[in-house]
Amino acid sequence: MYEVNFNNPIRIHFIGIGGISMSGLAEILLKEGFQVSGSDAKRSDLTDHLEHLGAIIYTGQKPSNITDDIQLAVYTAAIHEDNPELQEIMKRKIPAISRAVLLGQLMKNYKTAVAVAGTHGKTTATSMLSQILLEANTDPTISVGGILKAIHGNIRVGSSETFVTEACEYTNSFLEFFPTVGIILNIEEDHLDFFKDIHDIRNSFHLFAKKLPKEGLLIINSSIEDYEELTQDLDCRVVTYGLDSSADYSAADITYDDSAKGSYTLMENGRASVPIQLGTTGEHNISNSLAVIAAAKELRIAVSDIQRGLLNFSGTDRRFEYKGKIGEVTIWDDYAHHPTEIAATLTTAKGCSHNQLWCIFQPHTYSRTKALLKDFAKALSLADQVILTDIFAARETDTLGISSLDLLEELKNLGVSCYYFSSFDEIENFVLQNCIHNDLLITMGAGDVVNIGNHLLGK
């Protein structure tokens, strides 16, 4: 396999450079002196930013984008063998590696490499830890799957020996990584277009944990079912966290303010430690913060910096993000696209002051919708009113015979007041006519559903 020499910058081409992770890697390489080009289906703020930094950006993917000076190509899991640029790369016998391989090779350059894994919460937990490290002036390099306000983007290139990144399990990407500290937030059924079942998923997380070196550390949520099966044969140290008091790091005296932001007493090995106040909302973020505290303590971060970082971290873009008000209706947005995430976000929203809770949900991928249909309906039933868009296909084509109408039927069977519209314009008109004083409206999903709220607010 091709090994990148980070001390000898070359010309690299990214197929799909506009993705949040690919753009981040491209930015790191640009700042390390590499020449970068890349293509994507359309331009975005991320590609414009890369172009400003010196990258060559192509709109659309075609063979002519592959020039003679390219020495390495990088592609994502969404790029298939019939991609015209990948075919041209193969034709010219230019070395090509996946995004995950490049990220894994980059991690080897750092004494401390923290990889945050889990079915949910990766972006938030990675961002939380990043905020703490910034508060402590540790000058970390950061790669996060969302926009972190503290760094005004998704990437930061530091000069220290600390690197923090997300570790995605899809297509077993995280098995290409080389962390010294691993975090496993949760393990649930997802990405069933790749994994066979939950046992297959658990096996991949086990393999991820086994990649940690003997002197490394695994931080794992004690609420994961039979988590000991994943840890019993590891060479590294294991630390647990969770809302269960038996975990090494847990929380007591949990309270929430009027905006659902949590506070608690940190418990270490069953003993009260220090008070923690969060700048983020919901029980799920109390859990995330415990994982982050365990990691920060491993990195020898002062307690005062940990407390300040957690208080100052207000979340990343599209994670229960306040968007604004239209009339007396409050609009929020959330990236949730799995039943557990949906339930966590809606539970948090129910803790905020409101009249009726409306959720505009955009299902993400046909395979996920089909596999978890009843779970989606159960999670969405926490809202008072549900509006469904068409399924956002992402990397898939419609071959499974599933649609949002199937989810609509499941919701109606549960007695939920729900609606389906085939266009965003119809949804916006319906909202303007039906959302009233003090209603709370959440746009939810991993696709472009965020545009509905933005349009309603005139953004």
Give the SS3 label for residue 147: strand
Residue written as token pair 């044969």: 233
> Residue 278 and residue 276: Cα distance in Å, rounded?
7
Give the SS3 label for residue 356: coil
> Residue 113 and residue 109: Cα distance in Å, rounded?
9
- Other beta carbons within 10 angstroms of residue 232's beta carbon come to 9
> Residue 443 and residue 258: Cα distance in Å, rounded?
21
Spatial contact of 113 and 107, defined as CB atoms under 8 Å apart: yes
Let me know how long the chain is.
459
Catalytic positions are: 122-123, 166
Give the SS3 label for residue 76: coil
> Residue 135 and residue 429: Cα distance in Å, rounded?
44
| Both tokens assigned to 75 | 């592609």
280 alpha carbon, distance to own chain's centre: 16
- Other beta carbons within 10 angstroms of residue 324's beta carbon come to 14
> Residue 298 and residue 238: Cα distance in Å, rounded?
12
Residue written as token pair 């505009």: 360
Return the exposure string of 409-425: e unless at least 16 CB atoms fall within 10 Å of the residue's CB, then b. ebbeeeebebebbeebe
> Residue 185 and residue 224: Cα distance in Å, rounded?
8
> Residue 360 and residue 431: Cα distance in Å, rounded?
10
What are the residues facing 322 on neighbouring strands? 332
Residue 312 Cα distances to 199, 278, 297, 402, 438, angstroms:
38, 8, 18, 42, 27
Residue 144 neighbours by CB under 8 Å, 6+ apart: 24, 123, 126, 127, 130, 154, 155, 164, 165, 166, 316
Return the exposure string of 383-404: e unless at least 16 CB atoms fall within 10 Å of the residue's CB, then b. bbbbbbbbbbeeebeeeeebbb
Largest CA distance in the chain: 63
